[in-house]
Amino acid sequence: MTAGTDLRPPRVQPAAERTIRVEPGKHWWRRPWIAPLGLVVVAFLAYALPPYLAFDPALSRVPSTFPAHYLFLVGHVVFGSIAMVTALLQVWPWIRRKHPVLHRYSGRAYVFAGVLPSGLLALTIGAATPFGPVTRASDVLLAVLWLGTTWAGYRAARERRFGDHRRWMVRSFALTMSIILNRLIGPIAAIFLGPQLATTFGGSEIALGQSIAALGAWVSWTVALIAAQLWLDRKPKRRASV
As a whole number of angstroms, the distance between CA 153 and CA 176 comes to 14
Query: 66-112: per-residue pLDDT in tens?
Result: 999 999 999 999 999 999 999 988 888 878 888 888 888 999 999 99
pLDDT at 59 exceeding the cut of 50:
yes
**DSSP classification of residue 2:** -
Which has the minimum average pLDDT: 22-26, 81-85, 183-187? Answer: 22-26
Q: What is the Cα–Cα distance from 83 to 89, expressed in whole angstroms?
A: 10
- CA 143 to CA 28: how far, in whole Å? 32
Residue 18 reports pLDDT greater than 60: no
The HSE-up count of residue 130 (CA atoms within 13 Å, CB side) is 12
For 114, residues 6+ apart whose C-beta sits below 8 A from its C-beta are: 79, 80, 82, 83, 84, 86, 87, 176
Average pLDDT over residues 221-234: 95
pLDDT at residue 32 greater than cutoff 90: no
Q: How far apart are CA 167 and CA 148, in angstroms?
A: 13
| Reported confidence tier of residue 239, pLDDT bands at 50, 70, 90 | very low
Q: What is the mean pLDDT of the chain?
A: 86
222 has a pLDDT exceeding 80:
yes
Tell me what pLDDT residue 30 has: 55
* Mean pLDDT value across residues 213-220: 96
Predicted structure pTM score: 0.82
